[in-house]
Amino acid sequence: MKYREIKPSGFLSNFVKCIWYYETKDAEIQHTILPDGYFDLIAEFENETLSTLKLTGIWTQPKDIIIPKNTIFFAIRFKLLALEYIFKKEIKTILDTTADIPFSFWNIDKYECKEFEKFAFELTNKLNASIKHLVEIDNRKLNLFDIVYQQKTLTVSELSNQIFWSSRQINRYFQSQFGISLKEFLKIVRCHATYQNISNGNLNPSSHFFDQAHFIKEIKKIYWCDTEGTE
């Protein structure tokens, strides 16, 4: 397998985490999608032909998938602020799943599977142009996602106080746009930030958890949830 990513710079980084590439060779790969607090636009090429273009919802639990051999992904990983200001839609209806979109979306069907650099360059320019034409961005939302993704806060009440936006209003916004509460979103982002330590066998809590018992409890909820009876 081969993986690489390109990170945006400037104001676009408020909306995009990275543009990424993934390739399998002569064998299929079993992969687990872990909740991370982002959503993706993914173009999938099978045997060098564009076969799927999809938008993911937010993942709230791990999902095992099989990636076929000779598969290439071009994808953009978005921060949640992009939904309202770039896509101008909600994704609560595709929570923990995906939705197919037309290949012609953003002219993605014009790219060949060998043109990742061109894809990344042109889509970056397209997104930069899109946000330049925004009339106004709610600074409360801009600050909210900046604080959360940079791990600068611990609780809903702390976040509410920092951005001068009531927790009730924030939760109404999250439920209507994303299908989850702010509290759940904070847990997902916090737990994802610890994944590297967990994979290395380190179960000591970071400063974002009250103690080790709290740390282990929250990690189990996100990464070792009971999936019996689900697909």
For the chain, domain boundaries: 2-132, 139-223
pLDDT of residue 218: 57
Query: Residues 6 or more apart from 93 whose CB is under 8 A from it?
Result: 57, 99, 179
The 3-state DSSP class for residue 106 equals helix
C-alpha–C-alpha distance, residues 183 and 154, integer Å: 10
pLDDT of residue 151: 80
| Burial (CB count within 10 angstroms: exposed 0-12, middle 13-18, buried 19+), residue 23 | middle
The pTM for the full model equals 0.86
Residue-wise pLDDT tens for the chain (231 aa)?
899 999 999 999 999 999 999 999 999 999 989 899 999 999 999 999 999 999 999 999 999 999 999 999 999 999 999 999 999 999 999 999 999 999 999 999 999 999 999 999 999 999 999 999 887 899 999 999 999 998 877 789 999 999 999 999 999 999 999 999 999 999 898 888 776 665 555 555 554 554 555 555 555 555 544 433 333
pLDDT of residue 208: 54
pLDDT of residue 228: 36
The 3-state DSSP class for residue 57 equals coil
C-alpha–C-alpha distance, residues 222 and 230, integer Å: 15
Please count the residues of the chain: 231
CA 207 to chain centre: 23
CATH for the stretch 139-223: 1.10.10
